[in-house]
Amino acid sequence: MLAAGYIPKLLYKFGGTYKNDCDVSIDRHMSACDYTRQKEAYLRHMVKIAPTQQVLNHDPLVRDHLNTYRDTHPLPPILAGKWAIVRIR
């Protein structure tokens, strides 16, 4: 669990006993860990139930649109060279 002598996020508190301050600090730390685990589990669940995206790289309509876009929007002159014409075959 926790290493002996380690007090997570024990701020400089005055007026309480060491045991009480340690208990409060450890309780806050464990609550933060539990909250983080619950949030991570919720996010994993939401990602798992989301539908996967369909692959469009073999669709001729998409391929032709991308090629037309590149033909009408050439690369800037700085990158012109062997990368000047990029076509999807």
Looking at residue 36, its pLDDT comes to 96
Residue carrying the six token digits 């790289």 = 57
What does the alpha-carbon distance between residue 22 and residue 53 come to, in Å, rounded to a whole number? 49
Angle CA 45–49–53, to nearest 5 = 125
- Give the residue numbers spanning the domain of 65: 53-89
Q: Which of 57, 50, 6 is nearest to 29 (CA)?
A: 6
**How far apart are alpha carbons 44 and 46 in whole angstroms?**
5
Q: Kindly state whether residues 26 and 60 are assigned to the same domain.
A: no
Note whether 12 and 46 are same-domain residues.
yes
In terms of domains, do 14 and 46 share one?
A: yes
* Chain segment 11-39, per-residue pLDDT in tens: 565 666 777 778 888 899 999 999 999 99
DSSP letter assigned to residue 54: P
45 has a pLDDT exceeding 90: yes
Amino acid in the structure at residue 47: V
User: Is the pTM above the cut of 0.75?
Assistant: no
30 and 45 share one domain: yes
Residues 58-66: what's their mean pLDDT? Answer: 84
Structural domain count, the chain: 2
With respect to residue 63, please indicate whether it lies within any of the assigned structural domains: yes
Residues 44 and 63 in one domain: no
Query: 45 and 62 share a domain?
Result: no
Structural domain includes residue 3: no
